[in-house]
Structure 1
Amino acid sequence: MAESEYDSSVKAAVIVGCCLILGLTAAGYFVGRGALRFKSDVRTVTVRGLVEREVSADEAVWTLSLRRAGDDLSEVHRRISKDRDALLAFLQQQGFSAAEMTRQPTRTVDKLAREYGQPQAGERFRYLVSTAVVLRTTQIEQLQKALGATEELLKQGVILDAEREGNIANPRYVITKFNELRPELLALATKNARIVAQQFAADSGVSVGKIHSAHQGSIQIFGSDGHDESSAYSPTSTAVKKLRLVSTIEFELR
C-alpha cells in the first residue's frame, strides 16, 4: 500500500514538472514574438543632410622644373646650375625664405646609354639634364603675385619646364586643417537632415525621434571654378575651395 502511494506521488511530480516546462517554453515563445513584433513596429524616415562651406587654402606647393639638353655634359650641367641659382634668387626677391624652398636632385639622361644605344628620331642632343625647386609656403597671395612675375625668368634665359607637371595642378593649393573642419561639417549636415525629417513628419502628423542609423558620407572638394579637386592629382587647384558633405541619416518617428 505504501509502495503504491509512493509511485503515485512520483507520477504526480513528473506530470507537474512537465507541465511547468511546457508552460515556461510557451511563455518564452510568446514573449519573444512580442519583442519581435515591437521591433518591427518602429517607424523610421531616411533623409539626406547637405552642407557646403567655402574655405580658403592655407598652404600652397609650387614645383618649378628646369631642363637643359646638349652634347657636352659639363656645359649642360653648368647651364642648369646657373638656371637653378637664378630661380632661387627670383623666389627670394618675391619674398620667400630659403626654408620654404627645397632643391630636388639633378637627373641626367644619356641617350646613347639606353638599351637601343642610339638617339631616337627627332632627338638632337645626347644629354638631357633636369632638376626642380619645390616651394612650400603659407604666403598664398605672395605666391599668386610670383606666378605673374615669371616673365622675369624668361628675360634671363631661364625656361620653366611645363612637361614634367603632367596633368597635375601646379601650384597646388592645400587645406591643411581639413580634419579639424570635418566634425563641424558633420554636425551641420546632421542638423540639416533633421530639419528635412521634421518637415516630412509634420506633413505625416508624427514627430521626429532619435537617430536610428547614419552614414556620414565623404567630403568632396570643389574649386572656385566648379571642378572636382577631391583627388591629390587633380588637374586644377584654386586658392578658394568649396567643401561639400552629404550625410544619409535614418530617424525614428513617434
Structure 2
Amino acid sequence: MAGLRDSMLGLGVSIAVGLVLSSAIVSYTAGRISGNKQSVSVKGLAEKAVSADQARWSITVQGGATTLPAAFAQLRANRPALVDFLKQQGFAEKQLAFGREEYEVVYKQDEEGRPTREVEQYVASQSVQLASNDVKRVDAAAGKIVQLVESGLPIRVNDPEYLVSTLEAVKMSLIANATRNAHDRATEFAKTGGATVGAMKSANQGAFYILPAQGGGSDDDYGGAYDKSTIDKIARVVVTVEYAISQ
C-alpha cells in the first residue's frame, strides 16, 4: 500500500509540474523520441517601430434639391470648394480620384415617423479619393477640413488611412529576429536542465501585427491586426519553434 501511495503522490507531482510548464511561454516536450532525445518548444517575439509612408483619404461631397437634376447641379456647384481646399493644403488635382456621381431619395415621414411615398428631396453625392506619400500633410489637412463643414459645405469626411508600403520586408526581418529570439529562449531554458539545444525540428509563424505605437486599435487584415489610423506604428510577429535537445 505504501508503494501505491508513493506512486500516486509521484503522479500528482508530475501533473502539477506539467500544468505549470504549460502556462509558460516555453514548454518542454518530455516525450522521448529515440536514443534518449527530447525536444523543447519555444515562442519567439520580435517587434520594431515603423512609420506609414502612404496615405489614403476619402471625402464625399453632396448636393440636395427637390428635383434630381437640381440635386446634381448643386453637387457640381459644391465640388470645386472641396477641390480648392485640398489644393490650398498643398495637393495637386492629379492626386485626386473622383468616384461616380450617385443619388438617393429622401422621403417625407408621417406624424409617427414612418416614411411616406412623397419625396422630400434628392441627395446627389460623389466621393473624392486623395492619395499621397506626404502623410504628415494629409494629417494636417484632416485637422483643418472642419472649416469646410463650418462653412456649410455638405460633405462626409472619413478618417485618413495611413499605410506602410514595405510590409513584406518588415515581416521577413521580424521573422528572422523572432527566430533568433526563440533560439535564445530555448538555450536558456535548456540550461536549467543541463541540456544542449540541437537542430530545429519545426517552426510556425503566428499572426503579423501592425499596431498603433501608443497602443489600441485593431483591423483584421494581413493575417493579424493592421492599424491604419495612426502614422507611427509597432510591427510585431510571434513564431513557435521546436528544437531537438540532448542531455
What interval of TM-score do these two structures reach, taking the shorter chain for normalisation? 0.7 to 0.9
Is this contact kept in 1: 2:211–2:226, CA < 8 A? no
Aligned to 2:98: 103
Which structure features the higher share of helix residues? 1
SS for the counterpart of 2:124 is strand
1:89 equivalenced with 2:78 (yes/no): no
**CA 1:230/1:155 → structure 2, altered by over 3 Å: closer, same or farther?**
closer
C-alpha distance in 2 between matches for 1:129 and 1:192: 56
For residue 200 of structure 1, the aligned residue among 186, 189, 199 is 189
Which structure features the higher share of strand residues? 2
The residue identity in structure 1 corresponding to 2:122 is Y
Is this contact kept in 2: 1:100–1:135, CA < 8 A? yes
Aligned to 1:139: 134
Deviation for aligned residue 1:122: 11
**CA 1:236/1:55 → structure 2, altered by over 3 Å: closer, same or farther?**
closer
The residue identity in structure 2 corresponding to 1:142 is R
5 Å matches for 1:65-84? 65-84=60-79
Deviation for aligned residue 1:58: 0.8
Aligned to 2:213: 224
1:58 equivalenced with 2:53 (yes/no): yes
Superposed CA offset, 1:23-79 (max 9, x none) = xxxxxxxxxxxxxx9746431100000112111111111000122322132322122
Identity %: 28
5 Å matches for 1:1-254? 39=34, 41-110=36-105, 120=115, 125-154=120-149, 156-162=151-157, 170-232=159-221, 237-254=229-246
C-alpha distance in 2 between matches for 1:215 and 1:120: 56
Is this contact kept in 2: 1:50–1:246, CA < 8 A? yes
Deviation for aligned residue 1:236: 6.4
Gap regions ≥5 residues in structure 2: 1-31, 108-113
**CA 1:241/1:93 → structure 2, altered by over 3 Å: closer, same or farther?**
same
Gap regions ≥5 residues in structure 1: 1-36, 113-118
SS for the counterpart of 1:209 is strand
Q: Size of the alignment, in residue pairs?
A: 206
**CA 1:66/1:38 → structure 2, altered by over 3 Å: closer, same or farther?**
closer
Is this contact kept in 2: 1:222–1:230, CA < 8 A? no
Is this contact kept in 2: 1:62–1:134, CA < 8 A? yes
Is this contact kept in 1: 2:211–2:227, CA < 8 A? no
SS for the counterpart of 1:125 is strand
Deviation for aligned residue 1:238: 0.9
Larger radius of gyration: 1
The residue identity in structure 2 corresponding to 1:135 is L
Is this contact kept in 1: 2:62–2:126, CA < 8 A? yes
* TM-score normalised by structure 1 residue count: 0.73
**CA 1:183/1:235 → structure 2, altered by over 3 Å: closer, same or farther?**
closer
**CA 1:93/1:38 → structure 2, altered by over 3 Å: closer, same or farther?**
closer
Superposed CA offset, 1:99-157 (max 9, x none) = 21101111022457xxxxxx925987231211110011111110111112113323543
C-alpha distance in 2 between matches for 1:102 and 1:111: 27
**CA 1:131/1:123 → structure 2, altered by over 3 Å: closer, same or farther?**
farther
C-alpha distance in 2 between matches for 1:221 and 1:59: 15
SS for the counterpart of 2:216 is coil
SS for the counterpart of 1:161 is strand
C-alpha distance in 2 between matches for 1:237 and 1:121: 40
C-alpha distance in 2 between matches for 1:206 and 1:102: 62
The residue identity in structure 1 corresponding to 2:195 is V
C-alpha distance in 2 between matches for 1:224 and 1:84: 36
